[in-house]
């Protein structure tokens, strides 16, 4: 059913009141799950993997400093627990001793001299070994994790192709090598009225001219013919807006370098659909079978001659 409009302030108020909520982004749409088991300890691993590199570096740095501050305060509970201090402020001595201990460096100048100091040092060394193992694993996974590196056109266009109105979206492989066994899909969703009243969200998988390639080396255009069997038959800019149309383009393939599957997608709202436009040519053919692909023009479109027909489709009287 069509969701009931609620203000952002009301969503936040309900989320705080429920004390169990989680925010999930799916393209342009944000889902706030309330009254659910929003967090588990094992989710920390996924959360850290999902951070961007600057965020991850900030998190690790903050955690490292916080742990050293904590252990410096613990050493300070017994002022004579550490021998060989420099004679400066005790907190700085204990903080830098904690830095050495957490990294299991141990320069030998400062060392624990009481039972309490040895106990705290043992706990910190164990914490340092655990922290080093976890961070090493996280950094390895973040570096080794494959990235699809597929770029999508900023808009979806609808224009005539071979005399038929056709929905088109352009995708490009930005990797320095080809993607293999690539699969392409366009999911189309909209609100449709029910006999009982109200609207219901329907989902359709659009039939493409091709939905699989053995090798995906550069850029290509995905095409869906809008005929009588298409859910887009008779669509207009006004009808797309009224039914709150959303299209999701997905690419799944295998990175041959690391032999791992990669996936990425991009969603488009009705605002991103352009009628009467087509993508400009980005391929230039040279002698010897060489093709130049201009990724700088991947998003560029051009107008086509367009005449609205009685069935609601648009058709060009001339097309390349």
Complete DSSP assignment for the chain:
-PPPP--HHHHHHHHHHHS-EEEEEETTEEEEEESS----TTHHHHHHHHS-HHHHHHHHHHHHHHHHHHHHHHHHTSTTSEES--SS-HHHHHHHHHHHHHTT---SSSEE-SHHHHHHHHHHHHHHHHHHHHHHHHHHHHHHS----EEE-SSEEEEEETTEEEEEEEEEE-SSS-EEEEEEEEEEEEEEE-TTSSEEEEEEEPPPS--EEEEE-SEEEEEEE--TTSTTTT--HHHHHHTT-EEEEEEEEEETTTTEEEEEEEEEEGGGEEETEEEPP-EEE-GGG-EEE-GGGTT-EEE---EE-TTS-EE-S---
3-state DSSP call for residue 226? Answer: coil
How many CB atoms are closer than 10 A to CB 204? 14
Instruction: Give residue 318's pLDDT.
Output: 37
Instruction: Give residue 3's pLDDT.
Output: 62
Instruction: Give residue 314's pLDDT.
Output: 44
Structure pTM?
Answer: 0.76
Instruction: Give residue 8's pLDDT.
Output: 53
Rounded CA-CA distance 303/318 in Å is 12
Alpha helices in the chain (DSSP H): 8-18, 43-50, 53-76, 90-102, 115-144, 237-242
3-state DSSP call for residue 229? Answer: coil
Instruction: Give residue 28's pLDDT.
Output: 72
Cβ atoms 313, 165 nearer than 8 A: yes
Pairing outcome for strands 150-152 and 307-308: unpaired
3-state DSSP call for residue 36? Answer: coil
Low-confidence ranges of the chain (pLDDT < 70): 1-22, 25-27, 37-39, 306-320
Q: Write out the two tokens for 182.
A: 């690539």
pLDDT tens for residues 33-92? 777 765 677 778 888 988 999 999 999 999 999 999 999 999 999 988 999 988 788 999
> Which residue shows structure tokens 């309490």?
116
Cβ atoms 221, 278 nearer than 8 A: no
Instruction: Give residue 7's pLDDT.
Output: 56
Instruction: Give residue 37's pLDDT.
Output: 67
């Amino acid at each position: 059913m069509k969701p009931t409009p609620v203000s952002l302030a009301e969503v936040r108020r309900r989320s705080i009141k429920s004390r169990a909520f989680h925010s999930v982004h799916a393209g342009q749409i944000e889902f706030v799950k309330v009254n659910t088991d929003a967090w588990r300890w094992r989710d920390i691993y996924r959360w850290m993997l999902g951070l961007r590199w600057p965020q991850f570096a900030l998190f690790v740095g903050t955690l490292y400093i916080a742990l050293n501050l904590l252990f410096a305060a613990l050493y300070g509970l017994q002022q004579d627990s550490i021998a060989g201090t420099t004679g400066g402020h005790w907190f700085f001595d204990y903080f830098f001793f904690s830095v050495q201990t957490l990294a299991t460096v141990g320069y030998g100048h400062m060392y624990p001299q009481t039972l309490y100091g040895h106990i705290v040092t043992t706990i910190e060394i164990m914490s340092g070994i655990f922290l080093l193992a976890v961070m090493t694993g996280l950094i390895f996974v973040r570096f080794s994790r494959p990235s699809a590196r597929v770029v999508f056109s900023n808009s979806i266009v609808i224009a005539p192709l071979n005399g038929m109105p056709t929905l088109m979206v352009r995708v490009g492989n930005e990797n320095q090598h080809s993607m293999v066994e690539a699969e392409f899909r366009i999911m189309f969703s909209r609100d449709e009225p029910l006999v009982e009243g109200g609207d219901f969200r329907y989902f359709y998988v659009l039939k493409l001219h091709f939905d699989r390639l053995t090798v995906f080396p550069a850029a290509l255009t995905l095409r869906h013919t809008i005929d009588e069997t298409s859910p887009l038959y008779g669509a207009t800019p006004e009808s797309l807006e009224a039914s709150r149309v959303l299209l999701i383009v997905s690419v799944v393939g295998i990175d041959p370098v690391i032999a791992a599957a990669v996936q990425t997608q991009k969603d488009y709202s009705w605002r991103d659909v352009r009628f009467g436009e087509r993508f400009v040519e980005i391929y230039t053919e040279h002698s010897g079978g060489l093709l130049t692909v201009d990724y700088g023009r991947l998003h560029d479109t051009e107008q086509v001659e367009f005449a609205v027909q009685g069935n609601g489709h648009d058709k060009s009287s001339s097309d390349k």
